[in-house]
Structure 1
Amino acid sequence: MANLSPSNFFHFIIVFMDLCFLAYSVTHWEDTQALKQFRNGVVNTSVNPGSCLSTWDFTVDPCDSLSTEKFTCGIRCDVVISGISRITELTLDRAGYSGSLDSSSWNLPYLQTLDLTNNFFTGSIPGSFSRLTRLQRLSLSINSLNESIPDSLPDSLEELLLDNNKLQGPVPKTLNRLKTLKRLELQGNQLSGEFPELSQLSSLYFLDVSNNAISGYLPATFPVNLIELAMRNNSLQGNIPANLINNSVYLQVLDLSYNNLTDSLPPELFTHPSLQQITLAYNRFRWIQTPVDWGRNSELIAVDLSNNDIRGSLPGFMGWMPNLSALSLENNKFSGVIPTQYALKAVMQNGLGGVGPFERLLLGGNYLFGLIPGPFLQLKSGSGVMIRLGDNCLYECPASFYFCGGGVQKSLMECKTFTPVIP
């Protein structure tokens, strides 16, 4: 110490005092008060002995007691001012707590993560959440929240997970204000009305609003950086706007199954530069438009168009799509013969001319007729290729071939009624 100058000695004392403060951090009084309000709002009978909330003992400082038996879990604190800690994370998922979230003022201004997943919280999503101006992740999944989504939420959100509740009313247009939002999950609620255009969410890459009661037409445009879009099991009608496909250039997964969509399937679906999976089963589509390049540059791996009202011949171009390995066209109204290319794609294990093989080809429940393509006859049960041709008009398809099983062929009368050209 004798070698320290007065100024250095003074600096040493300041650093030493800072370290002392950091060794015993004090939770900001507003954060402690907010935790108390939240705890008081939870139904006492849902706080089981040994659970996270049962350890919260406010006779000691929360942030300084995180690793003790007084506060075993649930919160994380960061020191933001010398000696003062602010709560940045509150996580109480899969705890089974119940009560109303409205009972708390939610005055936690430094909170970045709020995860109350898999509990039994009821009522509304508090409007006071809008005060959490640093909040990046809000997860209220798997609860019993049963009112509408509030118009005002923190602009700082990157993930908003409200799935598997009982939320009602429309999806608010004000979600467009959440410019930094990357993930939006609203599936498994009772949301209704038309789905709003959320084209302002330029950072959004994942959107799931499946299993709701959303009606009306699909918006003309969606966020440009979407990678996955799921809207299955709603009441959507009309067609698929070409702009949805053309503008979402990074889209990889599209699931619009179990709706009331109709008209034709646009050719852009099969020429998209990144689309890998299409699920459009259980709609009312009637036609497939053939792309100009016959899908030879397609990235599609799996296509499910089953249980629609699609007519005409099987789309031959799908036999030339290089990466397509799973194709389901079951339970439509296709007629005519099975393209030879389908059979070649099924039996060529290493592909043919840059075209990869089928691993699953489901064509049952249509009005296909004619001879079975010769290459199919090379396939044996257990070959690793799943093929279903039952419930068609293929009278030269005996059950001894495994791909002819799984359902007898339609009656001759039904087949001739649908397409008189059947011999």
Structure 2
Amino acid sequence: MGTLSFSMSFSVLLLATASWLAESKTYWGDIQVMKELKNSLDPNSVSPGSCLSSWDFSVDPCDSLFSEKFTCGFRCDVSVSELSRVTELSLDQAGYSGSLSTTSWNLPYLETADLSNNFFSGSIPESLSNLTRLIRLGLSRNSFSGEIPTSIGSLSSLEELYLDYNNLEGTIPASFNGLSSLKRLEIQSNKLTGEFPELGSLKNLYFLDASDNAISGKLPAILPTSLVQISMRNNNLQGTVPESLKLLSYLQVVDLSHNKLSGSVPSFVFSHPSLQQLTLSFNQFTSIQQPAPTNDNNIFSSQLIAVDISNNELQGMLPLFMALMPKLSALSLENNKFTGMIPTEYAIRVAVPGPGIAPFQRLLLGGNYLFGAIPRSLLELQPGSANVRLADNCLYRCPFSFFFCQGARQKSLVECNRFTPVIP
């Protein structure tokens, strides 16, 4: 480093060439970290000729940026800070393999550690908790296995945690409640089991993705009120949608598809003050609660743009109130057990919705037991004007010449009468 007011931090990135200036020599502590990092990996996993294999430390990394020696896969920066401060460590997309150990890192001021998109294997080191000022930790898309260390919960300065796309097992540590600064948590695509812990103490968490695991039990009764997006699709969640969701006044996206949720879809999700996307497909819901037309629960002020409740066990008539939600443009209710006729309001919403009302650009009603004639306004639709699907119902005269009837024939009269004997 040049002076006490400047320090040299390094990032290990996938860069084919270095095209920037670096006037200072590499701080000795940074070189030591690079040595220890290389020594922590299995030598047999470092491919000959790879970026990592070029690190022989015979020359100063920053002084040799424009030579053929020690220039592959790293960047030297000059930043104003303390002399011994290391601010960023990244092996993102470098394609390295082996196990990772932080026993000898000794990086008390490391703020960003991004080791994503590699082939690192083994367990996540408990010693990560020694990086007390860590703000961002990225371990995505590796082959880490074992349990998530409970010690991670002590990183009170951590704002972003990425553990997604690994082979992590066990339960989600309740110690995560200690991540008081956490804003983004991504643990999707692992093998996590057990119940999801209540994380109501995380007052700053706005993004949560725990999809594609084996999480069981009910949805937490208490969730961070700061949440903007929650995704827990493709798990083993049971029970109903918790009432606590209506207390999340910033919530915009909910994806709970591909679970085992049952009962009624609660009415509050349709009149939520901020919710824009609701995905509850591939569950076991049997009914939809209709919102009451009160000042506190008004569907006319709904912010919903897209609703997908397909592939459930929903019965009864198509919910008329959904045609009255002004911003709704994508509605999927296909592959349920709805019966009755297609409401005229649905058809008008596709063809001529009226001023200030978003048209149904997607209306998927196939795979039900809808009967009767197709509304006239739908018959006038041209291919490409909207995505409408009415296949596999009990509709009278729905030939393939209509684009919205294509994909599957209508059910047989025997099957339709077996399900709904009153079909004319």
Normalising by structure 1, we get a TM-score of 0.89
Counterpart position of 2:218: 217
Distance 1:230 1:328 in 2: 18
Verify: 1:264 aligned to 2:264, yes or no.
yes
> Contact 1:75–1:91 at 8 Å: present in 2 too?
no
Provide structure 1 residue ranges, at least 5 long, that are not aligned to the other structure.
Answer: 1-15
Counterpart position of 1:184: 185
- Per the TM alignment, residue 374 of structure 1 is displaced from its structure 2 partner at its CA by 1.5
SS where residue 420 of structure 1 aligns? Answer: coil
> Contact 2:172–2:197 at 8 Å: present in 1 too?
yes
Counterpart position of 1:323: 327
Provide structure 2 residue ranges, at least 5 long, that are not aligned to the other structure.
Answer: 9-22
Counterpart position of 2:273: 273
Counterpart position of 1:363: 365
Summarize the alignment of residues 150-169 of structure 1 with structure 2, pairs less than 5 Å apart: 150-153=149-152, 154-169=155-170
Counterpart position of 2:354: 352
User: Per chain length, whose mean CA-contact separation is higher, i.e. which structure has more relative contact order (CA < 8 Å, sep 6+)?
Assistant: 2
**Aligned pair in 2 of structure 1 residues 149, 63: CA closer, same or farther (>3 Å)?**
farther
Verify: 1:333 aligned to 2:332, yes or no.
no
Distance 2:374 2:362 in 1: 17
Q: Deviations over 1:390-413 (max 9, x none)?
A: 111102322222212211111111
Q: Deviations over 1:177-204 (max 9, x none)?
A: 0111111000000000000001111111
Counterpart position of 1:10: none
Summarize the alignment of residues 194-233 of structure 1 with structure 2, pairs less than 5 Å apart: 194-233=195-234
**Aligned pair in 2 of structure 1 residues 399, 86: CA closer, same or farther (>3 Å)?**
same
Counterpart position of 1:11: none
Distance 2:6 2:96 in 1: 38
- Per the TM alignment, residue 28 of structure 1 is displaced from its structure 2 partner at its CA by 4.8
- Per the TM alignment, residue 27 of structure 1 is displaced from its structure 2 partner at its CA by 2.1
Counterpart position of 1:118: 117
> Contact 1:209–1:231 at 8 Å: present in 2 too?
yes
> Contact 1:76–1:89 at 8 Å: present in 2 too?
no
Task: Select 1:312's aligned residue among 301, 316, 328.
Answer: 316
Q: Deviations over 1:163-222 (max 9, x none)?
A: 000000001111110111111000000000000001111111110010000000000121
> Contact 1:25–1:85 at 8 Å: present in 2 too?
no
> Contact 1:41–1:104 at 8 Å: present in 2 too?
no
Counterpart position of 2:34: 35
Find the structure with the greater CA-based Rg: 1
Distance 2:409 2:62 in 1: 69
Name the Cα RMSD after superposition. 2.3
Distance 2:4 2:139 in 1: 38
Summarize the alignment of residues 13-32 of structure 1 with structure 2, pairs less than 5 Å apart: 24=24, 27-29=27-29, 31-32=30-31
Distance 1:18 1:285 in 2: 64
- Per the TM alignment, residue 76 of structure 1 is displaced from its structure 2 partner at its CA by 5.5
Normalising by structure 2, we get a TM-score of 0.89
- Per the TM alignment, residue 55 of structure 1 is displaced from its structure 2 partner at its CA by 3.6
Counterpart amino acid of residue 281 in structure 1: S
Distance 1:98 1:253 in 2: 36
- Per the TM alignment, residue 136 of structure 1 is displaced from its structure 2 partner at its CA by 0.8
Distance 2:310 2:255 in 1: 13
Counterpart position of 1:377: 379
Counterpart amino acid of residue 363 in structure 2: L
Counterpart position of 1:9: none
What percent identity do the matched residue pairs reach? 56
Task: Select 2:301's aligned residue among 266, 286, 297.
Answer: 297
Distance 1:17 1:261 in 2: 61
Distance 2:40 2:264 in 1: 53
- Per the TM alignment, residue 356 of structure 1 is displaced from its structure 2 partner at its CA by 1.2
